[in-house]
Structure 1
Amino acid sequence: MNPFIELGIRHDIVNAITELGFEKPTPIQEQAVPVLLAGSNDFVGLAQTGTGKTAAFGLPLLELLDFSQKHPQALILCPTRELCLQISKDIEKYAKNLPDARVVAVYGGANISDQLRQIRRGVQIVVATPGRMLDIIGRKAIDFSNVRYVVLDEADEMLNMGFQEDINNILSTTPEEKKTWLFSATMPAEVRRIAKKYMTDPHELTMGTKNTGNENIEHQYYVVRARDKYPAFKRIVDSNPQIFGIVFCRTKIETQEIAETLIKDGYNADALHGDLSQQQRDKVMRRYRDRSLQLLIATDVAARGIDVNNVTHVINYSLPDEIENYTHRSGRTARAGKTGISLSLVNLKELGKIRQIEKVVGKSFVKAEVPKGEAVVEKQLFALIEKVQQVSVSENHIDPYLPKIMESFAELSKEDIVKRFASLEFNRFLEYYQNAPDLNVDPSESRGSERSKGKSDRFGRDEYKSDYTRLFINLGSVDEFTRGDILGYICNTTQISGKAIGKIDLKGVYTFFEVENASVDKVFSGFQHIDFNGRSVRVENAGERGADEGRSEKRNRSFRNGDGGGRKRRENGGGGFRDFSGRRREKSRW
């Protein structure tokens, strides 16, 4: 018998969640579900992300609501569009065998008319972000007078994002006799004040110690010089070939720069920050969930509400300004009982902050060493060997080619063949990491040693030299390009390495980009006779267009309403950046 039956969940719902792989309740589900099923108390649940909170409140709601009635009976507020969609989809799956159950997701960045239409058809559970919910309330398009339960999920994050006034306004439209269930990873003073204001003698359940991190997360830190942070980061990534991680930065600019530099170096990475449109954000998240991206580079605000399973590493490229945000960051890994690693790259000045974070999460951090070059080469080599061992062979398809393959290898011994196949990967890493310096810093070293003998940027590169030429291309954001897309498009079209591209300045209908002087002729040659969505792609020397970028914008404004404006890029041919081939990676990464 599925143990959820013993918690008081009916068979129809248990059958649905059994199909989803729910074999036994998580600790918070085991303790929260019986309390919430009683329906007689307000409730505060403190638990980390990834511990099963959605089912902890979603399953009791499905038991307590009257689905013969078509008006809203439960309101779930959460901080982000991604979490709103995730919660609504999960509850719909739990209610698979309840034909009259209706759930609507209400969030910004989507057509409000569609959401209003769903509400008018009749709904019992509304899952919403605060901003869009207020819009709908302002239109008098929803009636919360019969709401019996309000759930505040990720309450601390909603308050961190400045939603306190919105939450107050929304809750003022609900009945006083409702029950309020609050779920949060941490319990700062602001969350405590909401609990006091809107709850009466709530039942409080804390999984672990308040504000502490997930016990399944191993916390590591690496001490490096500021100029070595990016090379050390790459080395850590290379020493974990199967990494699937989220990299946190402090600012939008840093996020974009690191993502672009990783792309140039041949990694499957992209950025997630507040300057992206909803369409661009959806595209990045779709690629990340599909694991087309290996590394997602994000700011704290942009990453809130992301619910992606099997994240192996959270990497703090920059420590958060607010120490409590570290708990939210690290909670993106080790979800649903799995293990994960949260690692931080710090300089000597930041060691004190590591000690403060240790106190907040209640765990000691392990000081790790940036791997030596030879260790990275070994890891990559044996990752290749494992990949070869696990590859599935399509016998029917490869059989016709085997005679010719065997003939080609006839003069080679088995040992020679193995050596040569292994060397395909081994040689690139060996060349890149040969004589690689030790990037570790001894914490006992004086802070003065942080100063570089020569100036370098945040990626450990030498002081910028004027050996780049600035070029213009008549493609931009209205063609649905991001900076990462335009980088890939240029490299794929011209067959130059991403390392040859400097700064990219993406505009509405055009883009300026810098190219190493040695590659300029190749760029001009590569873009001869290239069309994009029915119009010729034009590349010019930016200097020839004059210093006034506004005039360039005006001259090209016709593109906004002409051939290229806002159209979807082609998937093939000249149509934008989709992925990096192994060939390009060989050229640019090592």
Structure 2
Amino acid sequence: MSTFNELGLSQNVLKALTDLGYENPTEIQEKAIPQVLTSDQDLKAFAQTGTGKTAAFSLPILEQINSEDSNTQAIILSPTRELAIQIAKNIDEFSKYLKGVKTLAVYGGSSIEDQIKKLKKGVQIIVGTPGRTVDLINRKQLKLSNIKWLVLDEADEMLNMGFKDELDKILEVTPKHKQTLLFSATFPKEVESIARNYMNNALEISAGKKNKGSDQVSHQYYVVSERNRYAALKRIADVNPDIYSIIFCRTRRETQEVADKLIKDGYNADALHGDLSQAQRDSVMQKFRKKHLQILVATDVAARGLDVNDLTHVINHKLPDQIENYTHRSGRTGRAGKEGISIAIVTGREKGKLRPIERILGKQFVSTPIPTGKEICQNQLLKLIDKVHDIEINEAEINDFLPSIYEKLEGLDREELIKRFVSLEFNTFLSYYQNAPDLNDSDQMRGRDSDSRGKRRDDENMTRFFINIGRKDKLNPARLIGLINEQQIAKNIEIGQIEILDTFSFFELDKNYKDETIASFQENDVDFEGRNVNVEITEKKRSGRSGGGRSRDKNRKDSGSGRRRSSGGKPGSDFKGFGRKRPDSKSAFGSSDKSSKRRKR
């Protein structure tokens, strides 16, 4: 790996990079900086979001700027005001030791008169949004006839936002002889059109494959019913106590509604979208960067200016309308060499939208079950214990209070003290998720005959079993899996299709363990909710009709979720207090299971 010193940068720039903690260039910086320094050839550069594109184009420009000439020498166009502000800030930091170099961000939502005043004093580098740049050109306050560099940053997004006409107007007033640098994370046809029309013999470089997602990011998806989308979002947040995340929504209204719900439910969250004033947006972003907010709910456009390296998750509350935007969203996490997780919350009908995204990313989404109340409480409890273990004790200040504390706690042994202390903060979470429903047992998970990757589940490797308990016995897929695990049939036994009916159910297991399954249930004399459990082998259902000779199988009403892995003997059912409520009772989220209405036989 090369160093910045080897890229041909001056000592003044290297000193600024050292102050900022820059050690080694990223791949796109390593390729772009020497090229722009040593050649005036146009350049098309493709790199994933978060790989340091700003330094890749600004550092070589700074090296060549004439600080004694106060005229505009470089124009950098960006799709949003937040990104324009961020780029200008970065360039100011890079040029800290370069005397006489001035940079100005011009964008809507801020006083154009103030920007004009600064322009008149002389600015070598302009960073602007297309709309405000055109406005200044029309007022004859911004002159680009002698610029040496034109940078199109996030060119794909500028086109997605409908700035083609503005880009055309800006490019028309720039000189024919200049160096045009186009930087983009994705490469739609419209970007290629700009390259053909406004670039000459452009060299193309890339860091990784075009449109490909970051290798540091893993991709997961959760299948939910539409009514449980927000409930699932909360559980994802709750099961990750250290979450530091952006939640992406498609519209401003959706963004504000989700943020309002999270704030009402006690999360450190806020919204970022175009309906906010510039002052409000600046305030929200400042709080998020300082981690005073754990969760930021944002539109695609508003989040473009965020430069945050420590995001643990990106959550797609809904998938974007344009596939390329998913790459930009997921690129917000997994930056600066750290790993990140990108999550998509989808309904059964939306699952098909994941396939084209997978082709672009070169990665597959992993189907993930929605966390149960038990999992959430366990993670929150362990996080609480970690906080207690790692807390620093102020011996000098606390010593005076200890005698009174010891007196009040006299009579409580160590175990009782621990239980009471933990319960003080933990009981709120415990009571909230008590009797919380299994959100995986939703309408979207019922009646499916294929698994998450589209393969049929009723294959020849599975044996179908009848069990004499059902929904009226408070059985759901999660509790049935737990019941199977408790029998310790085999380690990592594969569980296939599950069908939960009113008074009985069906499930599939690896056919190699059919005898062990029958023997385990018989020998263990299994009891569930006061009923003796009976398990028998039945024939598989055939396509278009139920299988086997059991009349019970003809009237199945709904089905559970797809193939799973058994935990290999460890009980997997919810522990007491975390089982699903009766179908006619309200859940912790105010919803009820209305899918179990009886049909006439």
Q: For the superposition of Structure 1 and Structure 2, which TM-score range results when normalised by the shorter chain?
A: 0.7 to 0.9
Letter in 1 for 2:290: D
Residues 28-47 of structure 1 correspond to what in structure 2 (within 5 A)? 28-47=28-47
Change (3 A) 1:461 1:109: farther
Quote the Cα distance in structure 2 between the aligned partners of 1:318 and 1:75.
Answer: 35
Structure 1 partner of 2:319: 319
Letter in 2 for 1:201: N
Letter in 1 for 2:217: I
Quote the Cα distance in structure 1 between the aligned partners of 2:349 and 2:30.
Answer: 43
Query: Does 2:15 align with 1:15?
Result: yes
Q: Determine helix, strand or coil for the equivalent of 1:99.
A: coil
Structure 2 partner of 1:481: none
Query: Does 2:353 align with 1:353?
Result: yes
Residues 48-59 of structure 1 correspond to what in structure 2 (within 5 A)? 48-59=48-59
Letter in 2 for 1:265: D
Shift of residue 461, structure 1, vs aligned partner: 4.3
Quote the Cα distance in structure 1 between the aligned partners of 2:559 and 2:79.
Answer: 39
RMSD (CA atoms): 2.5
Structure 2 partner of 1:158: 158
Does structure 2 conserve the Cα–Cα contact (< 8 Å) formed by 1:381 and 1:425? Answer: no
Letter in 2 for 1:426: F
Does structure 2 conserve the Cα–Cα contact (< 8 Å) formed by 1:316 and 1:345? Answer: yes
Structure 2 partner of 1:211: 211
Structure 1 partner of 2:418: 418
Quote the Cα distance in structure 1 between the aligned partners of 2:92 and 2:415.
Answer: 56
Which shows bigger deviation, 245-254 or 3-12? Answer: 245-254
The count of aligned residue pairs is 461
Query: Does 2:447 align with 1:446?
Result: yes
Does structure 2 conserve the Cα–Cα contact (< 8 Å) formed by 1:2 and 1:14? Answer: no
Shift of residue 253, structure 1, vs aligned partner: 2.3
Quote the Cα distance in structure 2 between the aligned partners of 1:395 and 1:23.
Answer: 40
Structure 2 partner of 1:123: 123
Q: Determine helix, strand or coil for the equivalent of 1:187.
A: coil
- The answer for unaligned runs of 5 or more in structure 1 is 464-590
Structure 2 partner of 1:362: 362
TM-score (norm 1): 0.74
Structure 1 partner of 2:199: 199
Query: Deviation string for 1:513-564 (max 9, x for gaps)?
Result: xxxxxxxxxxxxxxxxxxxxxxxxxxxxxxxxxxxxxxxxxxxxxxxxxxxx
Query: Deviation string for 1:434-478 (max 9, x for gaps)?
Result: 232221259774369799x99x99x87479xxxxxxxxxxxxxxx
Shift of residue 94, structure 1, vs aligned partner: 0.9
Shift of residue 407, structure 1, vs aligned partner: 3.0
Does structure 2 conserve the Cα–Cα contact (< 8 Å) formed by 1:245 and 1:296? Answer: yes
Structure 1 partner of 2:282: 282
Quote the Cα distance in structure 2 between the aligned partners of 1:84 and 1:100.
Answer: 21
Query: Deviation string for 1:492-511 (max 9, x for gaps)?
Result: xxxxxxxxxxxxxxxxxxxx
Query: Does 2:341 align with 1:341?
Result: yes
Quote the Cα distance in structure 2 between the aligned partners of 1:321 and 1:243.
Answer: 26
Does structure 2 conserve the Cα–Cα contact (< 8 Å) formed by 1:29 and 1:52? Answer: yes
Quote the Cα distance in structure 1 between the aligned partners of 2:358 and 2:179.
Answer: 36
Query: Does 2:373 align with 1:373?
Result: yes
Query: Does 2:329 align with 1:329?
Result: yes
- The answer for unaligned runs of 5 or more in structure 2 is 449-556, 561-582, 594-601
Change (3 A) 1:283 1:461: farther
Quote the Cα distance in structure 1 between the aligned partners of 2:329 and 2:91.
Answer: 25
Q: Determine helix, strand or coil for the equivalent of 1:55.
A: helix
Shift of residue 376, structure 1, vs aligned partner: 0.8
- Percent identity between the two aligned chains: 54
Structure 1 partner of 2:137: 137
Does structure 2 conserve the Cα–Cα contact (< 8 Å) formed by 1:231 and 1:460? Answer: no
Does structure 2 conserve the Cα–Cα contact (< 8 Å) formed by 1:225 and 1:450? Answer: no
Change (3 A) 1:115 1:371: same
Change (3 A) 1:142 1:251: closer
Structure 2 partner of 1:384: 384
Which shows bigger deviation, 432-441 or 55-64? Answer: 432-441
Does structure 2 conserve the Cα–Cα contact (< 8 Å) formed by 1:226 and 1:450? Answer: no
Shift of residue 237, structure 1, vs aligned partner: 0.7
Change (3 A) 1:82 1:399: farther
Q: Determine helix, strand or coil for the equivalent of 2:305.
A: coil
Structure 2 partner of 1:61: 61
Does structure 2 conserve the Cα–Cα contact (< 8 Å) formed by 1:358 and 1:365? Answer: yes
Shift of residue 39, structure 1, vs aligned partner: 3.0
Quote the Cα distance in structure 2 between the aligned partners of 1:18 and 1:257.
Answer: 43
Q: Which runs of 4+ in 1 moved over 4 A?
A: 441-444, 447-451, 459-463
Quote the Cα distance in structure 2 between the aligned partners of 1:301 and 1:38.
Answer: 34
Does structure 1 conserve the Cα–Cα contact (< 8 Å) formed by 2:80 and 2:301? Answer: no
Quote the Cα distance in structure 2 between the aligned partners of 1:397 and 1:124.
Answer: 56
Which shows bigger deviation, 372-381 or 286-295? Answer: 286-295
Quote the Cα distance in structure 2 between the aligned partners of 1:460 and 1:72.
Answer: 60
Query: Deviation string for 1:230-252 (max 9, x for gaps)?
Result: 22211111000010111112222
Letter in 2 for 1:44: K
Quote the Cα distance in structure 2 between the aligned partners of 1:283 and 1:159.
Answer: 28
Letter in 1 for 2:18: T
Quote the Cα distance in structure 2 between the aligned partners of 1:61 and 1:462.
Answer: 61
Quote the Cα distance in structure 2 between the aligned partners of 1:391 and 1:140.
Answer: 61
Does structure 2 conserve the Cα–Cα contact (< 8 Å) formed by 1:157 and 1:304? Answer: no
Quote the Cα distance in structure 1 between the aligned partners of 2:259 and 2:353.
Answer: 25
Does structure 2 conserve the Cα–Cα contact (< 8 Å) formed by 1:7 and 1:30? Answer: yes
Quote the Cα distance in structure 1 between the aligned partners of 2:282 and 2:8.
Answer: 38
Q: Determine helix, strand or coil for the equivalent of 1:70.
A: coil
Residues 430-445 of structure 1 correspond to what in structure 2 (within 5 A)? 430-440=430-440, 445=446
Quote the Cα distance in structure 2 between the aligned partners of 1:118 and 1:264.
Answer: 43
Structure 2 partner of 1:266: 266
Shift of residue 135, structure 1, vs aligned partner: 1.6
Q: Determine helix, strand or coil for the equivalent of 1:304.
A: helix
Does structure 2 conserve the Cα–Cα contact (< 8 Å) formed by 1:227 and 1:460? Answer: no
Residues 520-531 of structure 1 correspond to what in structure 2 (within 5 A)? none
Letter in 2 for 1:446: G
Change (3 A) 1:428 1:6: same
Structure 1 partner of 2:535: none
Letter in 2 for 1:170: I
Which shows bigger deviation, 194-203 or 281-290? Answer: 281-290
Structure 2 partner of 1:105: 105
Shift of residue 45, structure 1, vs aligned partner: 0.6
Letter in 1 for 2:254: E
Shift of residue 406, structure 1, vs aligned partner: 3.1
Shift of residue 37, structure 1, vs aligned partner: 0.9
